[in-house]
A and B are shown apart, each in its own frame.
Chain A
Amino acid sequence: MLQFDEIHGPDGVRPHYQQLMDRLTGLGPAELTERFAMLESIFRTLGITFAVTGHEEGLERTWPMDLVPRIVPAGEWAHIEAGLIQRVRTLNLFLEDLYVGEQSAIHDGIIPRWVVETADGYVREAHGIGVPAGARCVVSGVDIVRDGEGTYRVLEDNLRVPSGISYVLENRVAMTRVLPVAFARHSIRPVNHYGSSLLRALRSAAPYSASADPTVVVLTPGVANSAYFEHAFLARQMGVELVEGRDLLVDDHRVYMRTTRGLDRVDVVYRRIGDEFLDPLVFRQDSLLGVPGLAGAARAGNVTIANAIGNGAADDKGVYPFVPALIRYFTGEEPILPNVATYLCWEPDQREVILERMDQLVIKPVAEAGGYGIVIGPHADDETLAATADAIRDNPRGYVAQEVVQLSTHPTFIDGALSPRHIDLRPFVISGETIEVIPGGLTRVALREGSLIVNSSQGGGSKDTWVVDDAPAEGELSSTPTEGTRAVSPR
C-alpha cells in the first residue's frame, strides 16, 4: 500500500522542509534531546495537561508535543483553506435549511429525511431557533488526513464543541522558545489572533436586539471537566467571563449573569457543554450544568447559543457521506476537499460488500467520538470482526465503513531519534459574518509505531503546524542569533 511521508519524498527531503532539516541535523541528537526535555518542562510548568478518559481516577498527563513541527507550504494551504471554507459554508447552510428553512435539501432528495432525523445529534427542539447571520457553526474543527498519494481528504466534521485550539496556541508559544532559530528562518503565519477572531465572530452572531456592545460569555461545565483548561484559556484570550450554569439565570426569556452589582444581561453564550446538558427544561432534567430556560431565550431571539443547538445533525458519521452532494447542492461547486470513500451499512447491497470485506475496511460507530469503538479491519482479529459484523446486522444505521486511509507519516522525535509516525490535521474554522480559517491547526500524531489512532485520549501527541509562505526568509540567515544551547524566548 502506498505510503506518503510529509518530509521524505521520492527525491529526498521535500524542498519546503530543507531549511528545517538542515537546522535539526546541525543541532545534533544530544542537543535535540535537551530541547525536547525543555519542551516537556514548559508544558509541565504551565500546568497544561489533559485527562485521559476511560480511566477510573481521571488520569492527568502533560500535553505531549513533538519537537519536529509540521510544515504546510502556502500553496497547499490555499487549497485546504478554500476547501474548508466551502465545506463549512455548506454545513451552515444545510443546518439553517434544516432547522429554520424549507428543508429543501431533503425535499430535493439530496439526503434522506430518515438519515438526518436518526442522527444522534439531531435535535427536534432546535427547529425554529434562528441564528443571526446563519452562523450555526461558529467554531468547527474539520479533521483532515492525507492518503497514500498525498491527497488531503476530510475524515470527519466536528460542529458541536470541537476542542484543541488552546493547544495550537500553546504549541506555537512553546516552539518559539525551543527552536527559535529554526522558527526565525521561516516566514510562518501567526495563529495568536484566534481569540480576537472568535470574539468578533461571536459578537457578530449576537441577537439583533442586543446593544452595539454585546456581552459574550464562555459557558463551562466547571473545573472538573477535562477541557477546563481550554475553557479558561479562551475566556482569558477573549477577555470575557468564564461562567458556569449556576452563574446564569433566565428571566422573562432573557439571560443574565449574577454579579456583585446585580444582574448583567448576556447576549451570546459560547457554550462548551453538550446539547443534552444545556437546559434541563428541554433536555436532560438531571443536568445541573445547564441553565433552565436557556433554549427558550434563544428561541425568543434574546440570546445566541454558539455553536447552535442541533449541529450534530450535520457532523454525524452517517450524514458525512452526503456532504459532497450537499456542497454541490448548496454552492453549485465541485467539492474542493474530497471525502474518504465511505459505505453505508443500511444499504443492503453495500452491506453485503462491507461484510465480505470486513478485514480490509475501517468500521466506525456513528455516535462515538475520540477514536472510541473504531475497528480497523486489517489490524483486527477474527473474533472482533465477527462481533462487529453482528453489531452491523443488528443496527445498520449505527455504523459506516470506510476504505483504510494509510495516514501520511511525519518524522517524529522518539527516544532520541526521528522515526515516522502517522498524523492527521484538525484545522479550526470560525464562522461569523465571514468564514475564517486559522492557519495550520492541530496536527495530531499517533506516537505508537504503526498506529493510526491519533486521539490524545488514546496515546496521541501533537505537533506545531506551520503554514509557511514560499519565499524563505533568506536575509535573516546571516543575522541569525548565536547558536547558544539555551533558547531565549523572542516574546
Chain B
Amino acid sequence: MLSRHAEDLYWLGRYVERAEDTARMLDVTFHHLLESPPAVEATAWRELVEILYLDQVFEGTLDRPTVSGYLVTDRDNPGSILSSVARARDNARGLRDRISTELWEAINVFYLELAAADLTLGVEQRAYALLGDIKSRCQLINGVAAQTMPRDEGYRFIVLGLMLERAEMTCRLLAIRYARLVNTGERMGFHAWVSVLKSVSAYEAYLKSHDASLDPTRVLEFLLLDPAFPRSVLYCLRQVEQQLERLTADGLQTDVGRAIGRVRARAEYCDVSSIAGEGLDSFLEELQTEIYQVADQVDLYFFRSGADLQLHTVQSV
C-alpha cells in the first residue's frame, strides 16, 4: 500500500477518535461543573485543555464559553471537533478508492451537518444533545468501518490510529485529572471519581466489574489494566500491538515492534499498588513518552520510506 494512503487512513482513525474523546470529556466537564462549587471551574477547564494536549496553544480565558467554543467550533484550533472532522473528511476524500462508500458517506454527511449547524448556539443552549450527537456520529463511523471494510491493511491502519489515539487520551486523563485528585488529597469523593470514569465512558463498566465504593487504586487499575474494557490503556496497547504484528513485514523484530512491546509490557507487568502512591507521576510520564515513541516509530517505519536517502532537493524560488 502507498505510504500516503496508509498515513491518511491512520490519521482518519485518529481524528475521528479525537473528536469523540473531545466531545465526551467536554460533556463530562460541563455536567461535573453543574454540581461543583464555582471555585473549581478554572481548574477543571485548564485540566481539560491539558488532557487534550492543547495547553501550549490555548490562549483564552478558562471559562465555559471560551473553552467550549475553542474545542468545538474553532477552525483555527487544529484539535477542535470541527477541525478534526474536517481533516478526517479531507483524508477520506482522497481515499475514495480505498474505503467503502458507506464509510465515505458516514464521514461526509457528518462533516456537512456539522459545518451547516449553528454550533455556537448548540454549545450554549443544548450542549448535552449536541455533544451526544457528535459522540454517536463518531461511533457510527467506527461501526460502519468495522462492518463494511475488509480486514486488510487499510482497515488495520484505521484501527492502529484509533487505538493509539485512545491509549494516549486515557493515559493523559490519568496523568492529569486522576493524579491531581490523588496528589492533592482532595476530598471530592464519589462525585469526582465518577467524572473521571465517565470521561472514558468507564463508569458503568467499572460498576459491573467492581462496586460503587470507588476506591482510587481500583479506578486506576481499571483504567490502566483492565484487559476487557476497550478504553483501558492496556487494552488499547494490545490492540496496537496486534495491528502492528500483522502490518509489519518482518513481524515485531523492528524498531516499531520493539517500541510497542516495551510500552505494552511496562503497562502489563506494572504493580498498581506500588505505583498508586509516590511513583504515579513518573510512571505515567514514562508511559506517555513511550506511547509517543510508538507513534514516532509508526511514522518512520510505514510513512517515511526513502527518508534516509540523499535525494535531489529543489531550492524554493
Query: Which A residues are closer than 8 A to B by beta carbons?
Result: 222-223, 232, 235-236, 241-244, 246-247, 249-251, 256-263, 280-281, 285-286, 292-293
Contacts and interface: CB of A to CB of B under 8 A. Distances in A.
Nearest to A243: B2
Contact of A292 (B93, B305, B311): B311
A451 to B, nearest CB: 34
Given A259-B1, A281-B314, A285-B315, 16 more contacts: A223-B94, A232-B97, A243-B2, A249-B306, A251-B309, A251-B311, A258-B3, A259-B2, A260-B1, A260-B153, A263-B306, A285-B317, A292-B313, A292-B314, A293-B311, A293-B312
Given A263-B305, A281-B314, A247 B3 contact: yes
Contacts of A280: 314
Nearest to A223: B94
Contacts of B311: 249-251, 292-293
28 contacts: A223-B93, A223-B94, A232-B97, A235-B97, A236-B97, A242-B97, A243-B2, A244-B4, A247-B3, A247-B4, A258-B3, A258-B303, A258-B305, A259-B1, A259-B305, A260-B157, A260-B247, A261-B1, A261-B249, A262-B249, A262-B305, A263-B305, A280-B314, A281-B312, A285-B315, A285-B317, A286-B317, A293-B311
A87 to B, nearest CB: 35
B309 A258 contact: no
B46 to A, nearest CB: 39
B302 interface: yes
Contacts of B126: none
Contact of B312 (A250, A258, A259, A263): A250
B82 interface: no
Contacts of B157: 260
Contacts of A285: 314-315, 317
A258 to B, nearest CB: 4
Nearest to B315: A285
Nearest to A257: B2
Interface in B1-21: 1-4, 6
A59 B275 CA distance: 60
Contacts, number: 66
Contact of B306 (A222, A242, A256): A256
B31 interface: no
Contact of B3 (A232, A260, A293): A260
A280 B316 CA distance: 10
B247 to A, nearest CB: 7
B52 to A, nearest CB: 29
B96 interface: yes
Closest 5 CB pairs of A and B: A258-B3, A292-B312, A258-B305, A280-B314, A260-B302
Main secondary structure of the interface of B (DSSP, over half): loop
Contacts of B4: 244, 246-247, 258
A323 to B, nearest CB: 37
Contacts of B1: 259-261
Contacts of A223: 93-94
Nearest to A285: B317
Contacts of B312: 250, 281, 292-293
Interface string B292-317: 00000000001111100101111111
Contacts of B97: 232, 235-236, 242
A286 B309 CA distance: 22
A247 to B, nearest CB: 5
B297 to A, nearest CB: 13
A48 B93 CA distance: 15
Interface in B246-285: 247, 249
Contacts of B317: 285-286
A261 B153 CA distance: 11
Contacts of A250: 311-312
Contacts of B303: 258, 260
Contacts of B2: 241, 243, 247, 257-260
A243 B96 CA distance: 14
For B302, B306, B311, B315, the residue with the greatest tally of chain A CB atoms inside 10 Å of its CB is: B306
Contacts of A286: 316-317
Contacts of A257: 2
Contacts of A235: 97
Contacts of A258: 2-4, 303-306
A286 B316 CA distance: 7
A476 B249 CA distance: 56
Contacts of B305: 258-260, 262-263
A253 to B, nearest CB: 11
Interface in B160-182: none
A260 B160 CA distance: 14
Nearest to A241: B2
A292 B247 CA distance: 30
B309 A249 contact: yes
A285 B314 CA distance: 7
Given A223-B94, A232-B96, A285-B314, A251 B3 contact: no
A117 B157 CA distance: 51
A359 B258 CA distance: 78
Contact of A259 (B3, B94, B309, B314): B3
Contacts of A256: 306
Nearest to B249: A261
Nearest to B317: A285
For B311, B313, B315, the residue with the greatest tally of chain A CB atoms inside 10 Å of its CB is: B311
Nearest to A293: B312
A280 B304 CA distance: 21
Contacts of B96: 232
Contacts of A247: 2-4
Contacts of A281: 312, 314
